[in-house]
Structure 1
Amino acid sequence: MTIVVTGATGTVGRLVVRQLVDSGRKVRAVTRGGAPFPTPIEVVRADLDTPESLTSAFTGAEALLLLCRPATALDVARLAERCGVRRIVTLSSIRAEGERDAPYHLAVERAVESVDVAWTHLRPGMFAANLLGWAEAIRGTGVVREPYSAAAQTPIHEADIAAVAVAALSHDGHAGRKYPLSGPQTLDKPEQLAAIGAGIGRALRFEEISPDDWRARADSLPGFVQDLLLEIWTGSAATPEPVLPTVAEVTGRPARTLAEWAADHAADFGGDPR
């Protein structure tokens, strides 16, 4: 079986490639820049924004990990079907169900569902990797300043998202499934920071600031991103996000903790890499 991975150099894609190779699968890695990969990985330079560029990547493949590109998703899905791809796994979002008025991830899911392939949608919540936004402050002062300290989320290790993707790409029994994914712990912001501290062996401190002060500090983020984050934080402060069992159910192993994630990213936070 040849499996195509789009976004093969991304946060999740690179781990999907690695885990597929480790499991003995034949992998075709799609990148826009033609980044090098070790053998036996086949690399195809193509772009989801230009569907016709993907023909050689899809031809002869049986399964596809598809990133979210709503503008071209239907054309890409139809091309994959014509090229003989029989299974598509989308990297979607746990927020997809709430996008009916302004669909983004949901549009990609619907595009894939409209063609004659088996599909599985992965819907992760908060990526633990989002916390790399704290790395500069942790490296510098060890103090993180943000609003809504009570915002309680379930950060998920990108390796666990990849493991679920590999299962859905490689094995039967996942067709027609929508998999909401979370980490194994609901943690507010000080608890998230403490878990990072435990993972890298440092004492860290969280200080709550007002949303306006945070906006002034976060001026490098587009306004719509600031708005989205504040919406998520206020929502999860009022209603903490639940822990979901999906990772363990699909992979047969518990989801990795945030401290484990931090240990894996120790170098990003100024610590010694494992």
Structure 2
Amino acid sequence: MDNTKILVTAASTPVGRSIVEQLVSIGVPVRALTRDPQQADLLAGAEVVAGDLNDPASLAAAVEDMDGVFVLAMGAGVPELIEAAKNAGVKRVVFQSTAEIDDDADQQPNDVAVVHHGIEQAIIGSGMQWTFLRLDINSADALQWAFDVPGQLAVGDVVRGPYADAAGSPIHPADLAAIAVVALTQDGHSGQRYHVTGPQSLTHREQIELIGKTHGRELRYEQSDPAAARAEIAPHAPADLLFATWEAHLDKAAPVTDAIERVTGRTPRSMREWAEAHPA
């Protein structure tokens, strides 16, 4: 798409920030939507604007003159954003969705799938070109945000959490951003649902040990009581889905797909590369 202009929602999240950086690096005009532009600390090459997916009134101006939009389901106003984008003449939408969706089911399997499936259907109904990046929950740094691994490692060499042998396939945020950038700026991806994971299945224990080896630390994963851990994270994360996924992968590998390499043309970044980029 020549002269493409892209709106990135949730621009201060790791994936959103990386999308902004990658678009700026290839010379694509980008507008970064964030709740607090003064605190966002985004690249000077991006146009940073205030907006909130929980405040639909702030969204119409954000999509004005845009050709493409990256959407992350981080607020109740996503349907209003889609409607505003359609009315503004936006041509292309890339949505970070979930692999929990079952396209053949009459009823979606859980609340996460229900929300994302509803957004997918609204995007399809808008008539805009669309690409869905369906991310596995155990590829989405769930261990990091559910149990604050950086915070635990800041005060010691032990990470406490449930199910040391549960497997995930963590994806580097820059890789998820890269596939979004391709879908936003290149033809051939309209109508695609990409199942996106990281490049390797690793248990919780293996992930923490790998982080330790990368930084020369003797780190270990200490298994906590699952019931207590569930109660701790339930107010802040989709605990039922997380625990069901971890329990299902206690004795089998996590899914690994080739979507990143197939779409971007480059080998996905490893867990070691993620650790090297996060010295804390």
Output the TM-score relative to the length of structure 1. Answer: 0.88
Q: Is the 8 A contact 2:53 2:75 kept in 1?
A: no
Is 1:55 matched up with 2:60?
A: yes
Is 1:260 matched up with 2:273?
A: yes
Output the CA distance in 1 between the equivalents of 2:228 and 2:135: 29
Output the CA distance in 1 between the equivalents of 2:188 and 2:125: 20
Alignment of 1:19-58 (within 5 A): 19-35=22-38, 37-58=42-63
Q: Is the 8 A contact 1:6 1:66 kept in 2?
A: yes
SS at 2:221 equivalent:
strand
Q: CA deviation at 1:223?
A: 7.4
Structure 1: runs of 5+ lacking an equivalent = 268-274
Q: CA deviation at 1:69?
A: 4.8
Amino acid at match of 2:122: A
Q: CA deviation at 1:38?
A: 3.9
Output the CA distance in 1 between the equivalents of 2:243 and 2:233: 15
The partner residue of 2:93 within 88, 94, 99 is 88
SS at 2:131 equivalent:
strand
Over the aligned positions, Cα root-mean-square deviation in angstroms equals 2.2
Q: CA deviation at 1:252?
A: 0.8
Tell me the equivalent position of 2:20.
17
The partner residue of 1:64 within 44, 69, 78 is 69
Q: Is the 8 A contact 1:3 1:27 kept in 2?
A: yes
Output the CA distance in 1 between the equivalents of 2:172 and 2:66: 28
The partner residue of 1:182 within 197, 218, 225 is 197
Q: Is the 8 A contact 1:128 1:261 kept in 2?
A: no
Tell me the equivalent position of 2:132.
121
SS at 2:126 equivalent:
coil
- Identity percentage over the alignment? 37
Amino acid at match of 1:100: Q
Alignment of 1:110-149 (within 5 A): 110-125=121-136, 126-128=139-141, 130-131=143-144, 133-149=148-164
Q: Is the 8 A contact 1:129 1:158 kept in 2?
A: no
Q: Is the 8 A contact 2:159 2:222 kept in 1?
A: yes
Tell me the equivalent position of 1:160.
175
Amino acid at match of 2:82: A
Is 1:105 matched up with 2:120?
A: no
Q: CA deviation at 1:238?
A: 4.3
Is 1:6 matched up with 2:9?
A: yes
Output the CA distance in 2 between the equivalents of 1:70 and 1:105: 12
Q: For residues 212 and 130 of structure 1, do their structure 2 counterparts lie closer, same or farther at Cα, with a shift above 3 Å needed? A: closer
Tell me the equivalent position of 2:212.
197
Q: For residues 32 and 214 of structure 1, do their structure 2 counterparts lie closer, same or farther at Cα, with a shift above 3 Å needed? A: closer
Output the CA distance in 2 between the equivalents of 1:117 and 1:41: 24
Q: Is the 8 A contact 2:60 2:81 kept in 1?
A: no
Output the CA distance in 2 between the equivalents of 1:26 and 1:109: 26
Output the CA distance in 2 between the equivalents of 1:20 and 1:223: 31
Output the CA distance in 1 between the equivalents of 2:53 and 2:238: 23
Q: For residues 157 and 148 of structure 1, do their structure 2 counterparts lie closer, same or farther at Cα, with a shift above 3 Å needed? A: same
Output the CA distance in 2 between the equivalents of 1:207 and 1:70: 34
Q: CA deviation at 1:224?
A: 6.2
Is 1:214 matched up with 2:229?
A: yes
Tell me the equivalent position of 1:227.
240
